[in-house]
Amino acid sequence: MTRKNLAPFITIMIILILAILGVVPLDKGVLGGKGIHLGLDLQGGTHLVYQADFSDTEPGSEGEAIQGAIAVIERRVNALGVSEPVIQKLGNDRITVELAGISEIENAKNLIGQTALLEFGELAKEGETPTWTNELGDWVPATAEVDGEVLELSSRYFQENTYVSQDDYGQIVLVFQWNDTGTKMFEQITERVLNQPLGIFLSGEALRGDEGLPIAPYIRSVISDRGIIEGLSLNEATELTRLLNAGRIPVPLTPIYEQTVSPMLGADFVNMSLKAGIIGLILVLVFMMVYYRFPGALASGALMFYAFVVLAIFKAIPVTLNLAGIGGFVLSIGMAVDANVLIFERLKEELRLGRTLGAAIEVGFSRAWPAIRDSNITTFIVCGILYWLGSSIIASGPVTSFAATLAIGVAVSMFSAVVVTRTFLRVFAGSRLARRASLYNVYSGKSHD
Amino acid sequence: MINIVDKRFRFFWVALGLVIFSAVALGAFGLKPGIELSSGSMLTVNFAQTVNEDELNQELETLGYGGAIIQQTGTGGFLIRTAELSTQAKNDLENSLTNRFGAVTEAEFNSVSPMVASETARNAGIAIAVACVGILLYVTWAFRKMPHPFRYGVCALLALGHDALLALGIFAALGSVLGWEINLMFITGILAVLGYSINNTVVVFDRIRENLQRGISPDLAVVVNTSLSETLTRSLNTSLTTLFVVLALLLFVGASIQNFAVVLLIGVIAGTFSSICVAPNLIVAWERREAKRLFRRDEPAVDSSQG
């Protein structure tokens, strides 16, 4: 081993050891980091996408409205105790929700889909057709006339700052405040329904408290802009506060995409694809060693280097691996040896021309390089397009993950062939073992006459 | 030296035959788009008891899902494909199935609205078109110092079209016989095949460029044939290692990744053929303006060069 080759060799070994330490075990990271991040299809969970309907929203306040809707979903999901939920705006008018684990999914889905608009009702008089009916009686929307227009009272007329507090006696109170229109309306309504209950309805159903009874506070005085609701439990007050705040700018949400995978199925996928990857890797290694013998064995070493470094990069970035992503990784194992194959074929050609081993290695690498570069650029172009496709559609998981794993795989494979295999070859070229021509299988696959 | 260029018309006929087969299969059967591309819901359920496919079909019909398509999974469960189901409708369906057949576990549920499906289909189409244009431009650019670089781009693209069309044609046939649908994994696979196949073609073209620069022969046919025989081992070996991993994916991961793995399988084999036997030979045929000769009886030999 010459001194010139020593430094790269040691560097490669250090990278390899770091990568192995970083990768093993796969489900945990070094220094408290996380394991390889698995997509929802592998760990089990649900991916939901909702379309927001802005037809009732004032123009210009769409952004605020969707943020409000996201806040509502966050609260609802957090209350269910789903770990690490991802709730994000997608484009201008969509919300994507990713929940891992499955136990509460049905529950969560029912909650998320609900419109946050709260409507208020007063008891129906004789002859009025009720809009809502429950054990407390028949209800019609509480209406008031503002600027000559009859409006129905709803949570959209609240100010932002509804909150839960305690009065002087330690009782839970919910403090609310109306906006200008709401103030005018509530004054008229409370005058009319003084000492009567005010019903609260969400999605056509009475809002029910802890005991399952409808929440319908009695109006004790005429209220204009600010008021309180007494007699709620802390739980009820908190929930109602959330709903009132979210209901200020309600946006109807329609589910447009759902993907749910049970954790058991996800675990099966992980095991199966792991098996496929290992068997694919072994087949490739055996082929390389049988066909290319000595350099093939070195390439196999480079391939192990490749596999560990790629996995370490997946962990470090982190790349979300789903089934297609693992497919991309497994595929890249098969493609990763391509650069090695290109180099070894060149190496054999140069040896046949009678060059010494050292010269053949150098010429082989430099001649193979343009082909390695040009051919891999096409793969990068396709990965870039796949990545764009993934970012432009909703069912993006498989496409994006595949593009990322394939691109990383191809990039590392170029490095591993050009730098790692070359260094290995240079290092071992001086050994007596390496000088035996039979080790290069020079004459098999020979295409010249 | 193996003579691939001499036999170019035979290869063109094979390629043309495959293309015609694919076009006919596509025309006759069409592609069956999965829910990701055409909307709907797909529910995978496992039953605690053994359930007969006919019974399940009957039950679904009684429940008002007469149009549902069911398919048995390898593990005794069933895939049930319906029009788009709401959460409520899906829960009702699962409850009804539990009442009829005993405990039901939901393994997978996927639901796609028409809006999302049409966006996906449109963008997938754009992606494939952009990939083709990108590859055409890149190959033209990469071989810009050669005479007629555009020819290399066009010939590479024609070879790609052959590979992609073959995959589509075989899937149309599989769709008709086995009910296979094309989904997003299929599209991903097609794009991966485009990348893989062009990769092979570029390696061959690269050698043609090198040999042209070295001036090994004034005859392009000889240069191409030499380049092909020099890169043949590499092409076959790389395809072989890729086939190993694709087969491993197909055999060990199975149904969920089946579309993807089968597209790759077709693509790797077709891509190897087209990058060796079609794309480089097209360059030679173009150089010699042989388009009309395809239909002549006498096969031209390499040495009948037009100078």
| Of A94, A114, A134, the domain-final residue | A114
Of B63, B86, B111, the residue at which a domain comes to its end is: B111
Pick the last residue of a domain from A114, A136, A162: A114
Last residue of a domain, one of A60, A80, A114: A114
End-to-end CA distance of chain B: 23
* pLDDT of B298: 52
A175/A138 same-domain check? yes
Residue A95 falls within a domain, yes or no? yes
Q: Which residue, A301, A299, A308, A302, is CA-closest to A277?
A: A308
Which residue in A333, A382, A392, A413 has the most chain B C-beta atoms within 10 A of its own C-beta, making it the best mutation to test that interface?
Answer: A382
Domain shared by A274 and A287, yes or no: yes
Chain A partners of B198 at a C-beta cutoff of 8 Å? 375, 378, 382
B289 part of a folded domain: yes
B190 shares a domain with B136 = yes
Mean pLDDT per block of 10 residues along chain B (307 residues) reads 84 93 93 88 86 85 84 79 84 86 84 89 91 91 88 92 93 88 87 88 91 89 91 89 90 80 93 93 87 60 45
First to last CA, chain A: 37
Distance CA A406, CA A408 (A): 6
pLDDT on residue A104: 61
In which domain, by residue range, is B227 found? Answer: 8-34+116-295
Identity of the residue in A349, A376, A382 whose CB atom sits nearest the CB atom of B192? A382
- pLDDT tens column, A42-99: 888 888 898 888 877 777 777 777 877 787 777 667 766 677 788 888 888 888 888 8
Do A139 and A198 sit in the same domain of this protein? yes
Query: Is B2 part of any domain?
Result: no
Whether residue B300 lies inside any domain: the answer is: no
Reported as a single tens digit per residue, the pLDDT across A252-277 is 788 888 888 887 777 888 888 888 88
Q: Based on the domain organization, do A225 and A320 belong to the same domain? A: no
Do the Cβ atoms of B199 and A338 come within 8 Å? yes
Each residue's pLDDT tens digit, A335-371: 778 888 888 888 888 888 888 888 888 888 888 888 8
**What pLDDT does residue A32 have?**
41
Residue B15 shares a structural domain with residue B121: yes
Residue A181 is assigned to a structural domain of this protein: yes
* CB distance B132 to B157 below 8 Å: yes
B162 and B266 in a single domain? The answer is yes
* Residue range A294-350, pLDDT digits in tens: 888 888 888 888 888 888 888 888 888 888 888 888 888 887 788 888 888 888 888
Looking at the structure, tell me whether residues A341 and A296 fall in a common domain: yes
Q: Examine the domain organization and report whether A325 and A266 are in the same domain.
A: yes
Whether A331 and B264 have beta carbons less than 8 Å apart is answered as: yes
**The pLDDT value given to residue B281:** 92
Q: How far is CA B121 from CA A389, A394, B71, B187, in A?
A: 10, 11, 24, 9
Facing B116 at nearest CB: one of A265, A330, A394: A394
Segments forming the whole domain that contains residue A159: 118-248
Give yes or no: residues B70 and B22 share one domain.
Answer: no
Same domain (yes/no): A270, A124: no
Share of chain A above pLDDT 90, in %: 2
Preferred mutation among B249, B251, B258, B259 to probe A, highest tally of A CBs within 10 A: B249
- Dihedral pair phi/psi, residue A250, rounded to 5°: -75, 140
Average pLDDT over residues A425-438: 68
Q: Is the pLDDT confidence value at A26 over 50?
A: yes
Same domain for A11 and A157, yes or no, is: no
Question: What was the pLDDT predicted at A75?
Answer: 66
Q: Based on the domain organization, do B121 and B245 belong to the same domain? A: yes
Going by pLDDT thresholds of 50, 70 and 90, the confidence category of residue A28 is low
Together in a domain, A371 and A410: yes
Rounded to the nearest angstrom, the minimum Cα separation between B296 and chain A is 31
Q: Is residue B306 part of a domain?
A: no
Query: Domain containing B269 — which CATH number?
Result: 1.20.1640.10
Residue in A260, A341, A399 closest to B109 by CB: A260
- Single out the residue of B232, B218, B264 nearest to residue B245, CA to CA: B264
A85 domain residue, yes or no: yes
Instruction: Establish if A211 touches chain B: CB-CB under 8 angstroms.
Output: no
- How many domains does one find in chain A? 3
Are A29 and A52 members of one domain?
A: no
3-state helix, strand, coil in chain A (%, to 5): 55, 20, 25
Is residue A322 in some structural domain? yes
What number is the average pLDDT over the span A16-32? 66
Q: What is the mean pLDDT of residues A217-226?
A: 85
Residue B302 belongs to a domain? no
What count of other Cβ atoms lies within 10 Å of the Cβ of residue A364? 24
Both tokens assigned to A329: 């990784």
Do residue B193 and residue B256 come from a single domain? Answer: yes
Domain identity same for B200 and B248: yes
Give the CATH number, domain containing residue B54. 3.30.70.3400
Which among A110, A371, A385 has the least Cβ separation from residue B87? A110
Task: Tell whether A243 and A351 lie within a shared domain.
Answer: no
Cα B273 from chain centre: 14
**Domain assignment present for A449:** no
- Tell me, what's the ipTM? 0.85
- Contact status, residue A252 vs residue A52, Cβ threshold 8 Å: yes
What CATH number is associated with residue A242? 3.30.1360.200
Q: Please give, rounded to a whole number of angstroms, the shortest distance from the CA of B196 to a CA of chain A.
A: 7
- Residues B47 and B129 both lie in one domain: no
What pLDDT is attached to residue A31?
41
Give the domain CATH number at A70. Answer: 3.30.70.3400
Split into its structural domains, chain B has a count of 2
- Whole-angstrom distance, CA of residue B190 vs CA of residue B20: 19
For residue B200, list chain A residues with Cβ-Cβ distance below 8 A: 375
Q: How confident is the model at residue A437 (pLDDT cuts 50, 70, 90)?
A: low
Residue at which a domain ends, from B111, B138, B159: B111
Q: In this structure, are B286 and B232 located in the same domain? A: yes
- Tell whether A23 is covered by a domain: yes
A376 residue type, one letter: N
- Residue A255 in any domain: the answer is no
Please indicate, yes or no, whether residues B104 and B223 belong to a single structural domain of this protein: no
Q: Which residues of A touch B108 (CB under 8 A)?
A: 260-262, 265
SS3 content of chain B, % helix, strand, coil (to 5): 70, 10, 20
Domain final position from B72, B88, B111: B111
Domain-embedded: residue B307:
no
CA B215 – CA A226 distance, rounded (Å): 91
Contact A178, A225 (CB under 8 A): yes
Min Cα–Cα distance to chain B from A236, Å: 26
Q: Are residues B61 and B136 in the same domain?
A: no
Q: Is B214 among the domain residues?
A: yes
Residues A132-154 pLDDT 10s? 888 888 888 888 888 888 888 88
Residues in A 398-427 with any Cβ partner in B closer than 8 A: 398-399, 402, 406
Asked if residue B279 belongs to a domain, the reply is yes
The domain that holds A394 is classified in CATH as 1.20.1640.10
Claim to verify: residue B144 and residue B249 sit in the same structural domain? yes
Residue A446 has pLDDT above 50, yes or no: no
Q: Is residue A447 part of a domain?
A: no
pLDDT for residue B304: 42
Range in A188-192, A432-436, B15-19 the model is least confident about: A432-436
Residues A239 and A286 placed together within one structural domain of the fold = no
